Structure 1
Amino acid sequence: MDILDSIVIGAGQAGLSTSYHLQRLGIRHLVLDADSAAGGAWQHRWDALTMRDVHGVAELPGSTPPARDGRRANEAVPATFDAYERAHDLPVVRPVAVDRVTDDDGILVVHAGDREWRTRTIVNATGTWTHPFLPHYPGMETFLGEQLHTVDYPGPEHFLGKRVLVVGGGASAVQFLGALAPLTDTLWVTRGEPVWRTDDFTPEAGAAAVALVEQRVAQGLPPQSVVSVTGLMLRPQEREAERLGAYAARRPMFARIEPDGVRWADGSFERVDVILWATGFRPAIAHLAPLHLRSPAGGIQLDRGGRGTTAVADPRVQLVGYGPSASTIGANRAGRAAAKGVQRALASRAARIAVQPMPNARL
């Protein structure tokens, strides 16, 4: 079977950026994408999300990003990615849902159902969208109303006339409250007190936030998102929800869920029709488990003190869209770093082969 130099798993922003740079370096590779069409996770997002709401998501090397206008992001971004793939003749194969990656005597084998590819290196660019995090709370299985994670958000009109409990302390919870509070009755609960930014989010502040994520990855800890350490800010489209008191009425987490609502720690009861879990995502990396990349701390340690893309446990593996490169700008930049990492791994392998003695050679 033919052995490739590299396989990129995932064709979102990070995967396409990596493929572009691999191609420029002359590295023979394929991009395996689980979706049936271009666009990464953005083709699955809700219709109400417009290009005004995204931040650099469609920035790709060697191209001009689409305008930040009122078009639906789930249409504009896929169209941009599709045109980019065709313009640069990127070797994307879809749909391919990778099950696992194994090691066969130094060659990595990428499995997808009854298909497999053999490669010297891989770049994992699977992001987080397919791995939503849903915490468990007592009684949640008894709730008679509607429970959904934001990955399944159907748009604000779906919630008209319903009392919606939004759970989560991140930027997505703030954004969903901003969309829902002007239309219907909302409640907001978080585990901790929300941390709001009162200053401008400068490049220096962004660099400091990324550094905090890098510290965790450097220690082999599971990464936090870049957004989780920047603090919360309100955009103009959330000011109406603020005026209505949607953020000021935040409450600490309930004690349990009951069929018609939630029971607070003080014993009082709150009726709700919908629980919207804005509780984030986790890296979609289960298919890498056979390679034993996780550190004892539970995460995958990356090189360069957490700033790089190379897995310390196995330099044949690059991760983009993981840790500090999980932001949209970070994912784009990480593509070049990952391609360079692949180039180093291939050169190191070639050097090892060159110094091995030939069979039966005289010493």
Structure 2
Amino acid sequence: MVRDISVDDGVAHVAIALTIVGCPAADRIASDVRRAAASVPGITDVALEVGVMTPAERHALTERLRGGRAREMPFGPGTLTRVIAVSSGKGGVGKSTVTANLAAALAARGLAVGLVDADVHGFSIPGQLGLVDAHGSVPQPTRVDDLMLPPVAHGVKVISIGMFLRRRDGDEAVGAVAWRGPMLHRTVLQFLTDVYFGDLDVLLLDMPPGTGDIAISVGQLLPNAEVLVVTTPQTAASDVAVRSGLVARQTGQRVIGVIENMSALTLPDGTVFDLFGTGGGAAVAAALTHEDAEVPLLGSVPLSPTLRTDADAGIPAVIAHPEDPAARVIAGIAAQLAQTPRGLSGRALPFRPR
């Protein structure tokens, strides 16, 4: 996108080409370019020239991003990216909050992280990662022909259906999605094939609760995915959470761990408050463990007002308040996940002889 850069008497002249006319990210790109150029020592002013790519240039860029390959699933079996689906048996257990914080924590450790908000009906990832402005608008991906370049927040590349919904003038309600199986399947497929994430270490999927259409579609599209099951200590939540893990296993996916959210809160006087009971996470891990593979309880995230307020503010607690007890547990889980590198054994490497 960079056409020309020169410096004349302290003025940085920068020419860039947007992908399309009316690019939704134009203002953000221009602001980022000005800020980057102005940060160079000796630069006193920035003169920015903004143009638009020709159709031929866009086609060449698309070919370069795809690596000369036709449209294909980049995260299926054989991928070098570790794909982790974060699931739950029912809603309201804090799965999206855990996912957003895990993504930010992994990115803070230097990993290349992508996040697909697969909870199409109940999307909340853009808000939790600060991609919603004061007017309720969410930045759209930058389009390059049939490819989309996802927005980035806290080092995480993010895609969500919320980026494609508009508010009506004067309507304070967020747009709703009323889709059934085929549309849901196509949406997930497009998020995985038409969004250019680049080379990722980890791709997280924030799954919808339960074992419905999207869970089945992800199982078909990504049988190689690993699964994290999120539950609360309450028996009503943990019993249902087991089902999501069992369905994932039926599609060939591997359950790698359980995260218990909203566990005991330690009050200032030292009293331990078990609002949702105890033992749910351990019970789910035990139920999903079988003779061939142990499913560990990776951590119990305590109830935390800070975790909630930071999510509402669009800054993950692992970034805003890393000392918070809940943030420390999530960062510890991210450290455990990061210890397992991308495996190369038995996988085809993307090299071609010349």
Q: Which has the higher strand share?
A: 2
Q: TM-score if structure 2 supplies the norm length?
A: 0.25
RCO higher in structure (CA 8 A, sep ≥6): 1
